[in-house]
Amino acid sequence: MNDIDAWVWWLVGAVALGIPLVVTAMPEFGMLAVGAAAAAVTAGVGGGVTVQVLVFAAVSVALIAVVRPIAARHRTQRPQLATGVDALKGRQAVVLERVDGAGGRIKLAGEVWSARSLATDRAYEVGEEVDVVEIEGATAIVM
């Protein structure tokens, strides 16, 4: 065991921590692997065992404390820029041809769209403003 430098063992540990990262997709293993790599660098420049362990712990804990909450926030956060049909939901449109449960036409975002009333018993006349609540294919559902 004394024949192999400490930095090699830390690199082996980093690789060993990287395997469950790939298999389980748990980013915490990657953060621990980075901590082990930092400890390997510390060992490579001559740091003692105590310093190596402290560097491993500090880097790992810092990454988990900082990166994990940021990643969790990004996972739950909706995109700030809606594109495609998602950008049209909630917008107002003007009725060009009577819109009811069977269909009609509206002008939405400068384009003519087929439309259908959300409430099948409700009709909207030419010139009325409606709100787009959903897009189904090429048809806007309005109310």
Q: Residue 1 has what pLDDT?
A: 46
Q: How far apart are CA 108 and CA 103, in angstroms?
A: 15
Q: How far apart are CA 133 and CA 143, in angstroms?
A: 7
Looking from the CA of 63 toward its CB, the CA atoms found within 13 Å total: 17
How big is the chain, counted in residues? 143
Average pLDDT of the chain, as a whole number: 90
Q: How far apart are CA 39 and CA 20, in angstroms?
A: 19
In this structure, are strands 129-136 and 92-100 parallel, antiparallel, or unpaired? antiparallel
pLDDT at 19 over 80: yes
* 64 in Cβ contact with 28 (< 8 Å): yes
**77-125, pLDDT tens digit by residue?**
776 777 788 888 989 999 999 999 999 999 998 999 999 999 989 999 9
Q: Residue 132 has what pLDDT?
A: 95
pTM score over 0.85:
no
Q: Residue 2 has what pLDDT?
A: 52
